[in-house]
Structure 1
Amino acid sequence: MADAIPSPRITTRDWSLNDIIESSPNFHRMTRLHYSAPSLRASMSQHEASGTPLIIHGWNRHPHWPKSLFNIEWLRKHGDQNPTVRNVHDWSDSQIPLPDFIEKMRTSSPYATPQEKERLYGKDGDCPAEWTKWLTEGGVIPDEVLFNGSDDFLKFLPESAKVQTLMCYMGIGDTFTPFHKDLCASSGQNLMCYSENGGSSFWFMTKASDAPTVVSHFHKLGHEVDLESHVVTLEELRTAPFDVYIAEQRLGELVLVPPRSCHQVVNSGGITIKTSWSRMSLDGLCVAAYHELPIYHRVCRQEIYKVKSNIYHAMDHYTRVVEQTEPEIELATPASKLKQLIRLFDDVLAQEYTSQHASLAHISNVSDSEPISFDGIHCDFCGADIFQSFFECGKCLPLSSWNSEESRIVLLGDGLVLCPSCYVEGRTCQCGEMQPVQCRVVDELLQRRDRAVKAICRFESLADQELGYFSEHPKWVLSSHQRALF
C-alpha cells in the first residue's frame, strides 16, 4: 500500500545551496555547463552514459530565447484557462481558473506553515502549442535531448500508441514533486521558462547505477520509491548510503535527468514555470525491459510507455533503414542498433510465445484488411501493457461495464484481462475460466524478426548464424533459460 504523504512535509525556509552541500559528505554539487560550451554535446552524452545529472544554463541569454512567449501574462491569455492543480497538503486534485491560480500564488507566502490547509501546485499541465513549436522548431535546444528528436525511440510508436510526455509545471515555494524515478527508464529534461520574485527549484538526484541501493534503503524505511508517494527530508538524504547531487535551478536552466536517477524537486521563493519532457533511448529500452518492468509488475504501476511495443516498432524502423542503405561505413550505427533491438525482441518473444499459438483465439488475423490497434489493452491487475499474449474472461466484468444489452457482447480484448505473469502467479477471475488470447499472428512476428536478421546480414555476413531464423525454427524462440508462460 502506498505510504501517505507526511505533513508537514518540507520547507525551503533558510535553505542555501552552499550550506546544504557542505552539510554532508555524500552531498555533491551538480555539474553545470553553459549552452555555448564547445564540449556541450560530448558532455551530454558522457553524463547520460555515466548516469550522472547535468545542468545546461544560460538559455535565457540565448538570442532566440522567446521572452515574450515564456511569460505568465502570455499564459494568462493563451494558456489552459482551467488548469488542474494539486494541493500538496492533502494530495487532492482540482481545477481552478488560471487568473485565480495566479492570484493565489502571488498572494501566498513562499513558505508553508503548519497551520495552512492549502498550497497549490500546477503539475502535468498541457504545454501550449506555441511553446512546443519553439522547442521543436526553434533550433535552440539540442535535438539529441528533444522529444521526438534524434535519440527518442518513443517516436517509433504508431500514432494510436503515442505518449504525450511534454508537460508544464507552475508553482511557488514549498510545492514539490516527491522522490521518484522517471517512467520506464526514460531520460528526463526540465527547462525553467519563467520565474518571478527569485523563484527557483532545488533538485536532489542520485546516480542511475545507485537505483537498487536507493530503492532498498527506502524499503527499509517503509517507503516505495516507484509509487512516488514519499517526500524525502534533508536529514534522510544525509544519512543515506549513496551520493546525492544537488542544484538550484533558475531561469533558463535545463536539467538533464539520467534514466533511473531517483530525484525530488522542491520549489523555492516566487512563481516558477517549467516545461518538462521525457525521451526514450535505446539503452533506456533495455533497462526498462530487464529492470523497470519487473518492478512495475511487483508494485502494480501502470507501464504507460508500452516498452515491448516500442521495441517491436523500433526494430521495424531500423530494418527499413538498414535495407535502404548501402552497406558502407555509415551503416554501422543503425546496424548496431538493429542488432541490439533484435536481441531485445527475442526476449520479448520468449516471454510471449507458445507452441500452441495457432489454436488460440486471436484479435488479429492474417486476412484482416485493415491493421488493428492493440494499444489500449493492459493488465487489469498490475497495469502491464499487453503486447502479444494475455488471459481474458468475458463474463467476470463489473455491472458498471454493461451499458446496454448490446454491450453484453464482449469482443476480444474488452473483457477482464490478465498478463501472463499475473496469471502464472495464481491470479484469475471470479469464475476461474480465463482463456488464453493472442493479439497478433505469431508467424507474422517471426517473419518481421527474421526480416531484421536478413537486413543485418547485409552488414555482417555471419549474423544469420549468430541470430538464426525463428520462422524456420520456431522452437529457437525459447532459449535454454526461458520457457513459455502459456
Structure 2
Amino acid sequence: MPAQRPRAAFEPLSPTLDVADLVKSSPNFEDAVRIHCDAIDENGLENFEKLVLLHVIVRGLPLVVEGFDKKLDNAIFSEKWLKTHYSAKKEDARDLTTKKSVPLTIGHYLKNMPMLTDQWNEYNYKDTGLQRLYLKDIDCPKIWHDYLKKIIPPFLFYLNNSAEPESFEGPGANPIPSKKRHSKVAKAGDLMSCLPKDMRAENLMCYIGHEGTFTPAHQEMCASLGQNLMVDASDGSIENGRPTKPGSSIWFMTSSKDRNSVAEYWMSVLGHDINIEDHFAQINAWRGAPFTTYIVEQRPGDFILVPPLAAHQVWNRGTRTMKVAWNRTTVETLERAVNEALPHARLVCRDEQYKNKAIVFYSLKQYSSLLDSADANVSHARIQQLQTEFEQLFSLYTQILLSESFSPAASREKNVEYIPFDSNVTCAYCRGSIFNRFLTCPSCAITSTGDELPYDICMECYVMGRSCACISKLKWVEQFKWEELMGKHETWRQQLLRFDPDLGKKHRPFRVERDEMGKRSLAHICQEELKRRPWVDITKPKPVVEEVVEEPSEPEDENRPAKRRKKSKSKAPRCHICKYVEPEWKLAFCSNPKCSLRYCYGSLYRAFNISPQEVLETIKWECPKCRKFCSCGACRKNPRMTPFEPTCISLGHDTSKVADIRSVESLVDFRHSNLSWLKKAGSDEIGRLRKHQEEADAKRNQALEDNSIQVEPYQDVSQNPGYSQLELAKVAQAAYYADYTDIPVDPALETSLLAPNDSRG
C-alpha cells in the first residue's frame, strides 16, 4: 500500500482555555447565533419553525436556543436524581485513552467524576496516560423523555409525528384551546416516526462527561439534523462533601455549505477522513482552516441545533456535564442522505441505522392517508406543507424505483426469491440498510461451522466490485412485490395530479421515466455484471498462474535503430494506465469504434475520480484519452491533451476489518490512496479548497433563491452584530453507597487524588 501522508496528532484543550478570547483569536472564528427561548413565546412557534428552516437547513448554520434551564425541573435533571434512581444500572463507558469500553454502574461513574476531573490542570493536561472515561450513548430515562416532550418545540422533538401535542407547555405554546391546534393533519417533525415502531432507530441518548472527555469531529449520521440540550452541569459548589468545577462543553462547528471544503481539508492537511469520526482537531488546525468555524460554549439550558452534514466536535470541561441528544430526519435530510451521505458511508462501511429508503416509502403512505382524510377544519398552510413534502418524497421514491428496475429489454428476471420486508436485511459488506432488491450467494450461506448465515450484498456494492469470493452466480431477492411498488407509484402520482394537474409534466408514468433515463439502472448493471463476471468455486484451491508482464520500452533515439520489443506471452488486454494484464471483465472498454483502449477501474477511480458505477451506467462510455484528459505519461506529452487533476483526496480505507470476512474487492482496491496522482498533477491544495468553497457558496445562494418565496427575507447576524435576540426571532416569525470495588476505575487515580492536592499535579 502506498505510504500515507502524516496524520495530525490529538492535542487536548487546556482546562483554563477562555472561550471568549479564543473566538477573538482568529478571523475565521465566530460565535454561533443565539436566541432566547422567550423570543419564541413572543413570536410564535410558526415563525420559529421558519427560522429553523431558513437558518439551520437552508443556510446550514448552527443555532443555539438558550434559557431552557429555567424550564427544566432540577429535581429530576440532576446528578442526585440519577444516583437515586439509576445508581445500580450498568453501562459501558468509553475509555478515550485506550479506546476500549469499561463496564461500570452509573452510580460508580458519578461518584468518581470529581476524581476523574481533578487529575487535570493547566500543566499536565497534555499527559497521554491520564484516564478519560466518557459515559456516552446511554438510554435516556423515560421520565426525562416525557418531561422534555412537554417543553421542547414539538416539531424539533424526537419522533414527532404530527401537530402540537395537547400536553406541550414549552416556549411558543398556545394558551388558547383550539380544534385546529390539535389536528393530526400536519407534516411530521421527524420522518423516522412514520416507520413502524419495530423498524425505528432509537437515537434519544444521554451523554455524561468530565473534564477532558470529547467527541471527535464528525457529521450527524445519514445527514440528519442534530438536537443537543445540556440538562445539567456542575456549578462549582460542594457536592457530596467534595468541591466541583463548573461544567460546560465547547463546540467547534462548521456550516453545511462548507462540507466539501471540510472533508478535503481533513484529508489533505490533517490526514484524516471526516466520515470515520476518529480525530479531534487541534485549535491551530481550526485556525488554519479555509472556512468559518462557529464556536459555542454550551451551558445548562443551551439547546444546540446542528445543521445536516455540518462537521462538529465537542469538548467537555469541569466536573460534570449531562446532555440529552437526538436526531431528526426530514424531507431535506432524506434527499441529502440518499444522494450524498449514504454513498460516503458505504465507501467506509459505516452502518446505516436510519433505513432512509424505507422512511421514504412509509412517509409517503402516511402523508397520502393524511391528505385523503383532511377536512375543512385543517388550515390551508398545513395542507400546502403536506403537499410540498409529499411531492418531494415522491421524487425520491421515483429515484429509488428507477435504480431498482431491471433492464427493459429483458423479460422478467427468473427465480427471484421473495421475503417480506422487515427492515432487518443489511449489506454484508457496507452494512447499509437494504430496502428492496439485493443479491445473495447460495454457495456462501453455510459457514465453516455449519451455521446458516446468508451473504447478502446491496446492488451499490456489487456494482463497485464488492461481493463474496464467489464473485458471480448470486441470486436475486426482493422484499416487496414489484407490482405492489408500481401500483403505489401510480396511485401517489395520480394523487399529486389532483393537487395540481400541471405536475403531470414533471411526474410522468414510471414506464416513461424508465425508458427515458438515458443510462443503465443499478439493477440493470448487476444483471449484466452477473453474466460477465466469472464464478469462482471457493471449495477448490486457486491455481497458480505465472503472469508475464511486459516491461515498458525505453524512449527511442533517432540516431540509432530502435530495439526490437519483446512480445508478451500473454494476449490478455492491458490497462492503458498501469499496463497490468487484466481479464476483460475487470476493464472498461471505450465505446469509440476507432479506439481500442482499456482502463482498469482502479486507475479510473484514483486518477480520474471515475467510479465503476459511472462507467457501467453510461450506455456509450468514452475513455479519458478520447475525451482529451488522459493523464498517463505518454498522453501528457500530447499538446492536445489536458491532463486530469483529481478534484479531491482519497486516503484509502481498509474495509476488511469491518466487512464480512467472506468479502472481496474485485474491481477497485479501495485501500490505495490517490496521493501519487495528486503529486503527478502538481496538485494545489489551497486552490482545490478554494474551488470547493466557491461551489459551496454558489449552492448556498441558489438554495436561498429557491426558498425566497416560501420564507421571509433573513438578515445574517454576522453582518449586523447588533441584532437583538428578539429581532432575530421576529425575522423568521439502587443506592448511592453500594460497593463498587469490583468496577474498573483506575486505582492509581483514586490513590493519587486522596493525597493532598499539588497545584502543579
AA aligned to 2:200 is K
Shift of 1:160: 2.5
Q: Quick check: 76-85 or 172-181, which moved more? A: 76-85
Q: Deviations over 1:38-64 (max 9, x none)?
A: 3544433332221100111111112xx
**1:12 to 2:14 alignment:** yes
Matched-pair contact (CA < 8 Å) for 2:206–2:323: yes
Query: Matched residues in 1 for 2:17 and 2:305: separation?
Result: 23
Q: Quick check: 37-46 or 78-87, which moved more? A: 37-46
**1:245 to 2:294 alignment:** yes
Cα 1:320/1:485, change in 2 over 3 Å: farther
Q: Deviations over 1:260-287 (max 9, x none)?
A: 1100000011201100000011101011
Alignment partner of 2:249: what SS? Answer: strand
**1:426 to 2:465 alignment:** yes
Show the counterpart of 1:90: 98
Show the counterpart of 1:233: 282
Shift of 1:482: 4.9
Cα 1:19/1:390, change in 2 over 3 Å: same
Show the counterpart of 1:52: 61
Shift of 1:21: 0.4
Cα 1:70/1:481, change in 2 over 3 Å: same
Name which of 371, 383, 392 aligns with 1:340: 392
Show the counterpart of 1:277: 326
Show the counterpart of 1:125: 138
Alignment partner of 2:374: what SS? Answer: coil
Show the counterpart of 2:73: 66
Query: Matched residues in 2 for 1:381 and 1:41: separation?
Result: 39
Query: Matched residues in 2 for 1:280 and 1:336: separation?
Result: 16
Matched-pair contact (CA < 8 Å) for 2:442–2:475: no
Cα 1:129/1:400, change in 2 over 3 Å: farther
Query: Matched residues in 2 for 1:267 and 1:118: separation?
Result: 14
Show the counterpart of 2:499: 459
Q: Quick check: 249-258 or 312-321, which moved more? A: 312-321
**1:162 to 2:200 alignment:** yes
Name which of 148, 152, 156 aligns with 1:135: 148
Show the counterpart of 2:612: none
Shift of 1:253: 0.9
Percent identity over the alignment?
28
Structure-to-structure mapping, 1:173-192, within 5 angstroms: 173-192=211-230
Shift of 1:423: 1.1
AA aligned to 2:207 is Y
Query: Matched residues in 1 for 2:37 and 2:216: separation?
Result: 28
AA aligned to 2:360 is I
Shift of 1:362: 2.8
**1:363 to 2:372 alignment:** no
Q: Deviations over 1:150-177 (max 9, x none)?
A: 4211111122311111000001111000
Query: Matched residues in 2 for 1:478 and 1:321: separation?
Result: 32
Show the counterpart of 1:306: 355
Q: Deviations over 1:256-314 (max 9, x none)?
A: 10111100000011201100000011101011111111111222211111111111111
Matched-pair contact (CA < 8 Å) for 1:8–1:114: no
Query: Matched residues in 2 for 1:231 and 1:239: separation?
Result: 15
Show the counterpart of 1:367: none
Query: Matched residues in 2 for 1:229 and 1:255: separation?
Result: 22
Alignment partner of 1:399: what SS? Answer: coil
Query: Matched residues in 1 for 2:128 and 2:503: separation?
Result: 67
Query: Matched residues in 2 for 1:166 and 1:87: separation?
Result: 22
- TM-score when scaled to structure 1? 0.90
Query: Matched residues in 2 for 1:477 and 1:259: separation?
Result: 34
AA aligned to 2:62 is P
- TM-score when scaled to structure 2? 0.58
AA aligned to 2:111 is E
Cα 1:398/1:239, change in 2 over 3 Å: farther
Matched-pair contact (CA < 8 Å) for 1:187–1:280: yes
Shift of 1:358: 5.2
Query: Matched residues in 1 for 2:277 and 2:228: separation?
Result: 18
**1:34 to 2:36 alignment:** yes
Show the counterpart of 1:389: 437
Cα 1:213/1:398, change in 2 over 3 Å: farther
Shift of 1:132: 0.9
Cα 1:480/1:85, change in 2 over 3 Å: same
Matched-pair contact (CA < 8 Å) for 1:300–1:383: yes
Matched-pair contact (CA < 8 Å) for 2:37–2:65: yes
Shift of 1:319: 1.5
Show the counterpart of 1:415: 454
When the two chains are superposed, the root-mean-square deviation of aligned CA atoms in Å is 2.4
Structure-to-structure mapping, 1:282-293, within 5 angstroms: 282-293=331-342
AA aligned to 1:176 is F
Task: Give structure 1 stretches of 5+ with no counterpart.
Answer: 365-371, 409-413
Q: Deviations over 1:311-367 (max 9, x none)?
A: 111111112122223599453221111111111111111111114555242324xxx
Query: Matched residues in 2 for 1:295 and 1:98: separation?
Result: 35
Matched-pair contact (CA < 8 Å) for 2:252–2:312: yes
**1:380 to 2:391 alignment:** no
Cα 1:245/1:187, change in 2 over 3 Å: same
Task: Give structure 2 stretches of 5+ with no counterpart.
Answer: 161-187, 237-245, 527-761
Matched-pair contact (CA < 8 Å) for 2:438–2:478: yes
Name which of 11, 22, 26 aligns with 2:24: 22
Show the counterpart of 1:258: 307
Show the counterpart of 1:442: 482
Name which of 210, 218, 222 aligns with 2:266: 218
Matched-pair contact (CA < 8 Å) for 2:345–2:351: yes
Q: Deviations over 1:12-71 (max 9, x none)?
A: 322111111011110000111111113544433332221100111111112xx2111101
Query: Matched residues in 2 for 1:319 and 1:478: separation?
Result: 27
Q: Quick check: 290-299 or 324-333, which moved more? A: 324-333
**1:296 to 2:345 alignment:** yes
Show the counterpart of 1:368: none
Name which of 357, 365, 369 aligns with 1:320: 369
Show the counterpart of 2:609: none
Q: Deviations over 1:197-218 (max 9, x none)?
A: 3100000000011011100111
**1:104 to 2:143 alignment:** no
Cα 1:18/1:145, change in 2 over 3 Å: same
Q: Relative to total residues, which structure has the larger strand share, 1 or 2?
A: 1
Matched-pair contact (CA < 8 Å) for 1:52–1:207: yes
AA aligned to 2:335 is C
Cα 1:169/1:401, change in 2 over 3 Å: farther
Shift of 1:402: 3.6
Alignment partner of 2:38: what SS? Answer: coil
AA aligned to 1:77 is T
Shift of 1:391: 1.1
Query: Matched residues in 2 for 1:351 and 1:103: separation?
Result: 54
Q: Deviations over 1:361-380 (max 9, x none)?
A: 2324xxxxxxx333111111
Query: Matched residues in 2 for 1:385 and 1:478: separation?
Result: 28
Aligned residues: 464
Query: Matched residues in 2 for 1:260 and 1:115: separation?
Result: 31
Q: Deviations over 1:120-153 (max 9, x none)?
A: 00000010011111122x2x11012111124211
Alignment partner of 1:391: what SS? Answer: strand
Q: Quick check: 36-45 or 98-107, which moved more? A: 36-45
AA aligned to 1:60 is D
Query: Matched residues in 1 for 2:427 and 2:480: separation?
Result: 17
Shift of 1:397: 4.6
Cα 1:240/1:5, change in 2 over 3 Å: closer
Cα 1:162/1:24, change in 2 over 3 Å: same
Query: Matched residues in 1 for 2:146 and 2:450: separation?
Result: 42
AA aligned to 1:237 is W
